[in-house]
């Protein structure tokens, strides 16, 4: 079993007959990071590896560039992304906000109140 020293956990559901369901904040951050990197035009999370390399080196550090605050079953998320050159930054940001909100709400049942995007850079490489 994995040690949970640095992890903050939050109660999602409690049923006296079955038990409780808890989620760690870094799990919510990983959900947000995965959702953000699925959006076309997002090159990577800020300070992180690219989406293509995740499967080769593992997803342990995927949530870098994401900060989630959970309070009373609501979530505020801050996402720092690198956008590919040539993409409309406001349009990409809006897609990331929508995708992150939907992914967290569908997977956790928590309500997402804010998804704040910070553009940390532009990827100038032409990989197409």
In a domain, 14, yes or no: no
The separation between the first and the last C-alpha atoms of the chain, rounded to the nearest angstrom, is 42
In a domain, 41, yes or no: yes
pLDDT band at residue 126, thresholds of 50, 70 and 90? low
pLDDT of residue 61: 58
Q: What CATH number corresponds to the domain at position 62? A: 3.30.70.1350
pLDDT of residue 16: 74
pLDDT of residue 127: 58
Indicate the SS3 state at residue 30. helix
For residue 42, pLDDT over 60 is answered with yes
HEC string for 43-104: EEECCCCEHHHHHHHCCCCCCCCEEEEEECCEEEEEEEEEEECCCCHHHHHHHHHHHHHHHH
Q: Residue 98: which residues within 8 A CB-CB, separation 6 or more?
A: none
In a domain, 51, yes or no: yes
Alpha carbons 44 and 49: distance in angstroms, whole number: 7
In a domain, 66, yes or no: yes
Altogether, the residues listed in the chain come to a count of: 128
Highest-pLDDT range among 24-33, 50-59, 100-109: 100-109
In a domain, 78, yes or no: yes
pLDDT higher at 77 or 13: 77
pLDDT band at residue 9, thresholds of 50, 70 and 90? confident
Least confident of 11-15, 23-27, 121-125: 11-15
In a domain, 17, yes or no: no
> Number of structural domains, the chain?
1
In a domain, 55, yes or no: yes
Give the range of the structural domain holding residue 93, as residue numbers without chain letter: 24-123
pLDDT higher at 11 or 82: 82
In a domain, 7, yes or no: no
Tokens of 78: 């801050």
| pTM score | 0.79
Question: Each residue of 55-112: pLDDT tens digit?
Answer: 444 545 566 789 999 988 899 999 999 999 999 999 999 999 999 999 999 999 999 9
Indicate the SS3 state at residue 36. helix
């Amino acid at each position: 079993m994995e040690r949970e020293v640095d992890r903050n956990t939050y109660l999602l559901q409690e049923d006296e007959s079955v038990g409780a369901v808890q989620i760690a904040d870094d799990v919510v951050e990983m959900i947000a990071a995965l959702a953000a990197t699925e959006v076309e035009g997002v090159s990577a999370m800020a300070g992180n590896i690219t989406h293509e390399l995740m499967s080769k080196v593992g997803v342990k550090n995927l949530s870098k560039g994401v900060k989630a605050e959970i309070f009373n079953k609501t979530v505020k998320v801050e996402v720092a992304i690198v956008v590919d050159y040539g993409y409309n930054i406001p349009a990409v940001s809006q897609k990331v906000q929508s995708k992150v909100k939907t992914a967290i709400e569908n997977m956790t049942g928590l309500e997402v109140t804010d998804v704040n995007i910070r553009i940390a850079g532009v990827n100038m490489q032409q990989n197409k």
